Chains A and B, each alone.
Chain A
Amino acid sequence: MASGSWPQAAAPVTTAEADEKIAPRLSAAERHEGKSAGRSFSLASRIIARVIFCQLVLTAAISTVAVFYARRELNRGFDATLNGWAANTLAAVRYTDMEVPDLLFDPSLIPTSSNRRHPDLFEIRRSNGDLLARSGAPIPAEFEQGRPFANFVLSGISYRAIILRQVPVLDREDSISVPERVTVIYAAPLGGMHERLMALGFSVAGVSLLLLVVVSVVAAWGVRRGLEPLRELAGQAGEISVFNWEFRPPAEASTAKELAPLTGAIETVLDRLHVSFRQQRDFTSDAAHELKTSVAIVKSTLQTLLQRPRPENEYRAGLESMLEDCGRLEDLLGRMLRLARIELWAENGMNRKLGITEVTSTCEAAISRIQALANARNIQIELTAPQEVHLQADPEDLEVIWVNLLENAVQYSPAGSSVGIRVIPNGGGTACVCVQDSGPGIPEEQLPHVFQRFYRGDPSRSRSTGGFGLGLAICNAMVTAYGGQIEALNRDGQGTEMRVQLPIRRELSSI
């Protein structure tokens, strides 16, 4: 903002007008914000959606694991029961009371089936494979080698079967030393277990979904609550305007790890904006003061002359002084416009074709332009240039810098003293030119301000020498536009030294 200030400031703009000019800029930013609102989204909704999604995945996982675990446990229990029933069935095999005892199956010893509609199935075979007993239809179970269990479907009903291979008959007969062995297959319908598993799955899923709703509501509330500092921060930031620079972030906004960088950034930007806005306002007011005062002088001289009839010599004296005042006004305008032009260059990145210029010759040209002023004050200007230094620059620009520095030095040096200008080839890509005066030096506290526009450390003195406080600002703007540096140094008791460092070759990125 500071560098782009000139076009407004050159006209006598009141601060009220300046405010009006800046206010649309701020509201333009708001409009921009409004335009992008079409694609706007809620951060809180996003976070809540993600929380719910995670919750959903978690619910599904828990339900699945629970069902699988329950199925495994139920299977184990079922298998144990199956085993028990098979053993019971085996117990129903006994020897006959005949001389040579034979195996007999006694159905009265079979326990009643758990499922009345689909009774359990069994099959008992002798060790030679002959069928001893069977519940009804043959059992279509196919047992893999070494596996005691197998599932099968019979007339639409799922069954699970166990096989007890070659187990000895439990019944004992004294005449038989080696008990006979039989193979028992027992099958029971799985139906009950499936239903129980389904019920378990549904109840786990149901409870989980209910919990999910509760958690979502809590999460929504929590997230909105948690984002409250952000909303407050936005509210505070929104209240900032050219009339109100106060920014009071909520305490949480500067302590929260996520918000602290944002708060800090807003504060920094705001400070910078405020400073440059204030500088702009000061500048406008200073420029208005200088211009209006210059006009006031001319106008009051004219009106004084017109107040009553006067002798010719008084008119002549009045006109002559007015001519002088107009010259001063012209000088002020010239300087303001020059400063504006330099700042415009700097803004556009100095995109001018620049040749190679010899520095010492520009110094000599500057000295010849300032010689009359120096002579009038009986001040000697000494040029020290041990060797030629070449820079990529416009010779007129360099001359502007040296003339302003020398003019300043001559004005601040006592009559009869001397002013020095030294050209130092620095090496390392820069060249240095120093201008030294024999004045009283600049108070330390004023050193940082001497390059500000319209700054006058002791206005009465520079006013009496016709300065406006723009000379050093012009030097600063020009040196900055070339990517160089300018600084003011006090030489203990020997006046002030203005040191200019300029790059030998202009780098485009330096601005």
Chain B
Amino acid sequence: MRVLVVEDEKRLAENVARALRESAGYAVDIAGDGEEGLYLAESSSYDLMVLDLMLPKLDGQSLLERYRKKGHATPVLVLTARDEKENVVRLLNAGADDYVSKPFDLGEFLARAKALVRRGKGQRSPVFSVADLQLNTIERTVRRGEKEIALVPMEYRVLEYLVHRPRAVVSKSELLEHLYDYNWEKFSNVIEVYISGLRRKIDSNYPVKLIHTVRGHGYVLRPERERT
């Protein structure tokens, strides 16, 4: 998952980014003002935008309105110092999905961020199941049947993205774009490495295979009995 943090207070942006990286395993980009934020939001695809309201150059509310006007559906979580009713109403009406008021609790912030990412993909439960595979996004654990499977962080992130979009064909570039921050071009060949690692760990010992390659298109997560 890839998150854009638009926050001009550098230290706060870094703290938020660090929490998202460490506790949710998301890739995070930071924009220091409204114009940069809008540019990044429109030029890459994000799974979540974290938006401060008082921003230089372009304030958060205007950014949000412009962004939504162009039809972007990425969930937006607003950081605001003003949590009076009319402000909250205005924010939600401008297209925000949720808000936390400063000074916020980092745990609550992360929970709301994860919930928004799930809802953005049309999912409700924080525990995803495909056949007998279970992925718990809160504990960040993966099981197949009764057996807990240990994954390296990047493998987990690839699998997490795939379970958020079950049965959909996910291209390699989509994976790259959603799993890395804006330096992602550098990593163009690593996806195959993680996919083969995942296959080895969750598919090789089971008759029902979950990860499949659609040649020329990408990968798809669905239960399929191995043809013999």
**Chain A residues within CB distance 8 Å of chain B:** 14-16, 285-286, 288-289, 291-293, 295-301, 303-304, 307-308, 321, 325, 456, 458-461, 463-464
In contact, B15 and A297 (Cβ under 8 angstroms): yes
What residues of chain B lie closer than 8 Å to A15, measured between beta carbons?
82, 84
Please measure, in the bound complex, the distance between the C-alpha atom of A134 and the C-alpha atom of B169, giving whole angstroms: 151
What residues of chain B lie closer than 8 Å to A463, measured between beta carbons?
8-9, 56
Determine whether B105 belongs to the interface, using a CB cutoff of 8 Å to chain A: yes
Which one of B22, B81, B85, B105 lies within 8 Å of A293 (CB-CB)? B81
In contact, B56 and A293 (Cβ under 8 angstroms): no
In contact, B81 and A292 (Cβ under 8 angstroms): yes
Determine whether B202 belongs to the interface, using a CB cutoff of 8 Å to chain A: no
**Chain B residues within CB distance 8 Å of chain A:** 8-12, 15-16, 18-19, 22-23, 32-33, 53-57, 79, 81-85, 101-107
Which one of B16, B56, B79 lies within 8 Å of A459 (CB-CB)? B56
* Nearest-neighbor residue (CB-CB) of B19 within chain A: A304
Please measure, in the bound complex, the distance between the C-alpha atom of A459 and the C-alpha atom of B9, giving whole angstroms: 10
Given A293-B9, A293-B12, A297-B11: A14 and B82 within 8 A (CB)? Answer: yes
B138 → chain A closest CB, angstroms: 14
What residues of chain B lie closer than 8 Å to A461, measured between beta carbons?
56
Which one of A16, A292, A298, A460 lies within 8 Å of B32 (CB-CB)? A460
A-B contact pairs, 11 of them (CB 8 A): A285-B82, A289-B102, A292-B102, A297-B9, A299-B103, A303-B19, A303-B105, A456-B56, A460-B56, A463-B8, A463-B9
17 other A-B residue contacts (CB within 8 Å) besides A16-B84, A297-B11, A460-B8: A288-B81, A292-B81, A292-B101, A297-B12, A299-B104, A300-B19, A300-B104, A300-B106, A301-B15, A303-B107, A307-B19, A308-B22, A456-B56, A458-B56, A458-B57, A459-B8, A463-B9
In contact, B82 and A300 (Cβ under 8 angstroms): no
A395 → chain B closest CB, angstroms: 36
Q: Lowest 4 CB-CB distances: which A-B pairs, in order?
A: A303-B106, A296-B103, A300-B15, A459-B56
What residues of chain A lie closer than 8 Å to B18, measured between beta carbons?
304
Which one of A14, A301, A307 lies within 8 Å of B11 (CB-CB)? A301
* Nearest-neighbor residue (CB-CB) of A454 within chain B: B54
In contact, B15 and A16 (Cβ under 8 angstroms): no
Given A296-B103, A325-B11: A16 and B22 within 8 A (CB)? Answer: no
In contact, A321 and B56 (Cβ under 8 angstroms): no
In contact, B56 and A300 (Cβ under 8 angstroms): no
